[in-house]
Structure 1
Amino acid sequence: MNRISFALILLGLAPFLLSCGSKPNPRTLVMIIESSPTNLDPRVGIDASSERIHELIFDDLLERDEHLNVRPALAERWDIPDRLTYIFHLHHGVKFHDGGPLTARDVKWTFDSMLQGKIRSTKTAAYRFVDRVEARDDYTVVFHLKEPFATLLWNLSDGAMGIVPYGSGDEISRQPIGSGPFRFISAEPDKEVIIERNSDYWGEKARLERVRFMVVPDTTTRALELRKGSADIVNNALTSDLVLALEREPNLEVLHGPGTVLNYLAFNLRDPILKDVRVRRAIAFAINRQPMIEYLWRGFAQPAASVLPRQSWAYNAEVPGYDYDPQRARQILDTAGYRAVGGVRFHLTMKTSTEETTRLIAAVLQQQLREVGIALDIRTFEFATFFSDVTSGAYQLYSLRWIGGNEDPDIFEYAFHSAKFPPHGANRSYYSNSRIDALIDQARSELDQNARKQLYAEIQQILADELPYVNLWYLDNMLVHSKRVQGLTLNPSGNYDFLKTAELAP
């Protein structure tokens, strides 16, 4: 029995498994999410549910376009008189959901509360180069930097830091008050979050009256809720097989398009075998992505050649890839002196979590590497143990995903700069290259975007040659919705911006 047939059988059990379900309110869109947001304070919450919901409740100074460039939002324009000074001019007439005006004092408080330790947040590190924030007048905010930091604009956009009212403390996590297109109504952990349209919104008003985010941890149950009409939308929270099965339902539609989530394979460069770049290149040539994309993702993924997504303004399309070529992999290993004995050149161990897809990836890699004489052993652990081993360097190979973090080219510093070995960053491969370090440092302080793009292009060329990672594929965004929902458009980042334009058919 194939996986799609099994998915159809599960969906056929819907009347028996979910016979007590109720139809959604005709004026309320019901969207299923995998887990409750941990904290809706935009200064604190970093899990996907928190960030995507608080983006609807709070406004940022800037937003991002389809190429991940920043553009005006709360700040209608900005000036950079020198490399250490950013001046933002706010829209007039913006109000918080409690009716209070949003001014420069609120912006200053939002950042001061983190930088001065009034609010404890891991996001504080993103603003480590901010010296102070000045409210020059009600509608002018000035950021003074300690050193040039071109990524500042990105860190002020779309979900990075929504503006909270002056004086807001921990209580805002329980009763969020923002200025966004939706206002917070209620939340019950592990059950739901409810938001309503902000009729006084300063920008384009939402068409939906109310949105209920329904927490459903189980993947099959999410599909069943959609099928029986108890929910309207599931976004990137179903298996590919279930999406294909639901595509056959007469009352449902499927939207899918290119996304930015990256699956990658990482090497520990401190390992005596994997520190040899020839071994890493041979492994890259030995990997055949296409059957994995077809089998694991049913075609809902695209091969990747860079950590950056293709939509990024800094993406280098000229970077050479490693097309499947097992014969070349064998030649490289032979030349490097790794001759096969009894069909095996050497053993490697790949650690994985218990998550099904990761284990399947490892199993396919095991088979493909065997074809070139590499014996891959697989060790599976609960995620906490697995991730602890990864961050402490107790591994040879592992596979994870970048979700959102790879949309800004600052990812190169976080993941590949030699100053960012754990616990100071995510250079978990222990990759070190003085040229890469210099390029990253230069790009961070370069304000001209064209010049930055050239620096990032060279970084991508070097990384493709030296291979601390093998970039596997970008996952497509997949949104399944009831036909009563109209006006939906997918965002490459997979956030919930589509709720700002969606509407319910009468």
Structure 2
Amino acid sequence: MHTVKTVVRKTTLALALSVLSLPALAASTLVYCSAAAPEGFDPALYAGADTHDATAETVFNRLVRIERGGNRVVPDLAVSWTVSPDARDYTFQLRPGVKFHHTADFVPTRTLNADDVVFTFSRFIDPKHPLRGALPSVFPQIGMTSFDSNIEKIEKVDAMTVRITLKKSDTSFLNDLTWPFASVHSAEYAQKLIAENRAAELNQKPVGTGPFVFRSYQKDSAIRYAANPDYFRSKPRLDNLVFAITPDATVRVQKLLRNECQLIIQPKPTDLASLSANRDVVLRSTPALAVGYLNLNLEKVPQLKDVRVREALALAIDRKGLLSQVYLDAARPASSLVPPPAWAFDPTLKPVSQDVALARKKLAEAGLAEGFSMELWAMPVTRLTQPNGKLTAEMIQADWAKIGVKTDIKTIGWGEYIKMGRSGGYKGAMVLGTGGTTDPASFLGMMNCGGIDQVNFSRWCNKNYDALFARAKAERDPNRRAALYRQAQGILMKELPLIPLAYPNAYAAWRKTVHGYTLSADGRVNFEGVWIK
């Protein structure tokens, strides 16, 4: 035991020194202990929350955003917009005088204009776009929307006006534009890199208009940013921002208590009581726009094609035990893919209650009375939706063993885990979770047929579901739209291509010296307007 303690102390000291070895930290430096390294620095190429916090929420802006701590779509790079009566034409007036970052590699010669927006968005729909051949052209988040498939054209009306015309009406389109993939790039910077055969650096040395300027990345250790002196909403009150990459949730709490970092999110449920009692720490929580679930690969495991088998797996799970032991009761059982804070949550749907006898009966009806075997993949990182992926997998493994389903628990690094899910390479079930906005389309969109190879890890395709979802997005009347989204939730719970497990609470803890931070239900971490005193 003494040896283990020594190793932990040495590891913790090394982590602290890796951050403090950076150039001397000013009094207005905030260190945020993040849970994982970014997959890259182009937010459109990835779906991970840690990647988006390190890019879209720090370096970039979008045309519109969700108001901080609320649910309204408000201006960002666009100061205003108009929508045609049929919800097909969206015209945006851009904010004048917005400056792109000055870096060691790039000095912009102009401010933001329509060329940047057209360049950024054309990349998603034009297979001949110059970035398509230089960078990956899979955009995971877009699979949760109809952004790529529904755009008819993107036009530069004039230097400061952009019009996007859709093929079909889409009442969720403004909400889609708040997602990280819609972060606006500098066309000038991208074209410079392409001309110099350095396009890959767009994903390594990002340039945006956001509150913080990217300075450096020490792989798997720290990301450094400096305040953007030209930020259009006023220069941030923090001079420097550091993301100290700290995968171990226990170490993150220890570093917060020692003031080696000043803010963390999603501490382990076991640490909530001690954080709440600490006089130097603020702990906040809110019901999250998120859901933890199990993906089932309907392509690679023949038995999972039978809905009776999927029902049996859902019936066998002890959700009360999961909530107690994994979430420490800081969550509620999930009844749908859409969480309660979303405006079309269906309260008539109820969580599946454990019924082992009925589960065995379902398997027998499917001709699998003796059970079967498959893989069960454990999420390797701590997340809002899955505080302990390993324990979740172990508990579900034990539950499924009671009905004769044998599982081999596997795991892999986070980046590879997501790639495997996207490609459908896993042969069984996968512990996962997702977050979104108050618009239910941000959750339900991931199960579209078009999401396969992007965000639909179950590889389930139901044309009726897709048609219902499309009708909902085109419906202008909010009550009828909500009813259609609730019907879509009903199809998912009947078909069970994934098994909802829990609706978690979002938590953040910070030193009392930190001011102006807003805990967001969507889980995004944003330091605009934050200061230390």
Asked if these proteins are the same fold (TM beyond 0.5), I'd say yes
Q: Which residue of 1 aligns with 2:194?
A: none
* 2:392 equivalent among 358, 361, 366: 361
Q: Which residue of 2 aligns with 1:157?
A: 178
* 2:318 equivalent among 288, 292, 301: 288
Mapped to 2, the partners of 1:428 and 1:175 lie a distance apart of 30
Amino acid at match of 1:59: N
What is the CA deviation profile of residues 466-492 of structure 1, one whole-angstrom value per residue up to 9, with x for unaligned ones? 322220013332322222112322111
Amino acid at match of 1:166: A
Q: Which residue of 2 aligns with 1:504?
A: 532
Moved more, 442-451 or 224-233: 442-451
Mapped to 2, the partners of 1:354 and 1:398 lie a distance apart of 7
Mapped to 2, the partners of 1:46 and 1:266 lie a distance apart of 16
1:437 aligns with 2:438: no
Q: Which residue of 2 aligns with 1:102?
A: 112
1:56 aligns with 2:58: yes
Amino acid at match of 2:13: L
Q: Tell whether the 8 Å contact from 1:68 to 1:313 is kept in structure 2 after alignment.
A: no
* 2:210 equivalent among 161, 165, 180: 180
Q: CA deviation at 1:68?
A: 5.0
Q: CA deviation at 1:163?
A: 2.0
Q: Which residue of 1 aligns with 2:80?
A: 77
- Listed as ranges, the matches of 1:479-498 within 5 Å are 479-497=508-526
Amino acid at match of 1:90: L
- Listed as ranges, the matches of 1:241-260 within 5 Å are 241-260=270-289
Q: Which residue of 2 aligns with 1:18?
A: 13
Q: Which residue of 1 aligns with 2:502?
A: 473
- Listed as ranges, the matches of 1:91-490 within 5 Å are 91-98=95-102, 100-113=110-123, 115=126, 116-119=128-131, 120=135, 121-123=137-139, 126-169=147-190, 170=199, 171-203=201-233, 206-236=236-266, 238-269=267-298, 273-326=303-356, 329=359, 336=365, 345-353=370-378, 355=380, 357-371=388-402, 373-382=403-412, 384=416, 388=420, 391-392=423-424, 395-404=427-436, 409=441, 411-417=443-449, 422-423=452-453, 425-490=454-519
SS in 2 for 1:122: coil
Amino acid at match of 1:349: M
Mapped to 1, the partners of 2:234 and 2:501 lie a distance apart of 38
Number of corresponding residues: 488
What is the CA deviation profile of residues 140-187 of structure 1, one whole-angstrom value per residue up to 9, with x for unaligned ones? 211133444444323321423222333221355454432223333444
Q: Tell whether the 8 Å contact from 2:421 to 2:457 is kept in structure 1 after alignment.
A: no
Q: CA deviation at 1:265?
A: 2.2
Q: With the length of structure 2 as denominator, give the TM-score of the two structures.
A: 0.78
Amino acid at match of 1:365: I
Moved more, 9-18 or 141-150: 9-18
What is the CA deviation profile of residues 312-362 of structure 1, one whole-angstrom value per residue up to 9, with x for unaligned ones? 23322222322334465566667x48797xxxx534434224738333223
Identity %, equivalent residues: 26
Q: 1:406 to 1:399 in 2, by over 3 A?
A: farther
What is the CA deviation profile of residues 360-417 of structure 1, one whole-angstrom value per residue up to 9, with x for unaligned ones? 223222333455x434333425455897488447634333223559975254344253
Q: 1:13 to 1:243 in 2, by over 3 A?
A: farther
Q: CA deviation at 1:246?
A: 4.5
Moved more, 241-250 or 10-19: 10-19
Mapped to 2, the partners of 1:16 and 1:394 lie a distance apart of 33
Q: CA deviation at 1:31?
A: 1.0
Q: With the length of structure 1 as denominator, give the TM-score of the two structures.
A: 0.81
Q: CA deviation at 1:60?
A: 0.6
Q: Tell whether the 8 Å contact from 2:380 to 2:411 is kept in structure 1 after alignment.
A: no
Q: Tell whether the 8 Å contact from 1:29 to 1:210 is kept in structure 2 after alignment.
A: yes
SS in 1 for 2:189: coil
Q: Tell whether the 8 Å contact from 2:317 to 2:400 is kept in structure 1 after alignment.
A: yes
Mapped to 2, the partners of 1:11 and 1:76 lie a distance apart of 55
Mapped to 1, the partners of 2:367 and 2:448 lie a distance apart of 28
Runs of 5+ consecutive residues of structure 2 not aligned to the other structure: 103-107, 191-198, 382-387
Q: 1:339 to 1:240 in 2, by over 3 A?
A: same
Q: Tell whether the 8 Å contact from 1:389 to 1:395 is kept in structure 2 after alignment.
A: no
